Amino acid sequence: MADKVRAHALYGGRVQGVGFRFAAQRYAHEVGVTGYVKNLWSGQVEIVVEGERKKVEAFLERIKSGPLSHYIDDVETHYSGYTGQFRDFHLRF
């Protein structure tokens, strides 16, 4: 069985109102991870993602180094144990 993880990431910067959540959802579907993305009242964007470690890392790297990187000033990421809580990757409001 593949090594599975859960990651919780908070992105700061000009990350709301620029299509960040929709791009993250598209990346998640392309990579094959589950979880959610949500705008926070603080102006940050929160992502909780689960899946095989390599896929989770690829997803987070794509956000950090892809077109979304222009909007990100800082990111805080924490890893924890896989829970299997999600069946897909979706937007939360």
Per annotation, catalytic residue among 6, 26, 39, 53: 39
Per annotation, catalytic residue among 6, 21, 26, 62: 21
- The reply to whether 21 belongs to the active site is yes
Cα 31 to Cα 52: distance, rounded to the nearest angstrom: 10
- Supply 71's token pair: 């909007």
- The reply to whether 39 belongs to the active site is yes
Residues annotated as catalytic (active site), given as ranges: 21, 39
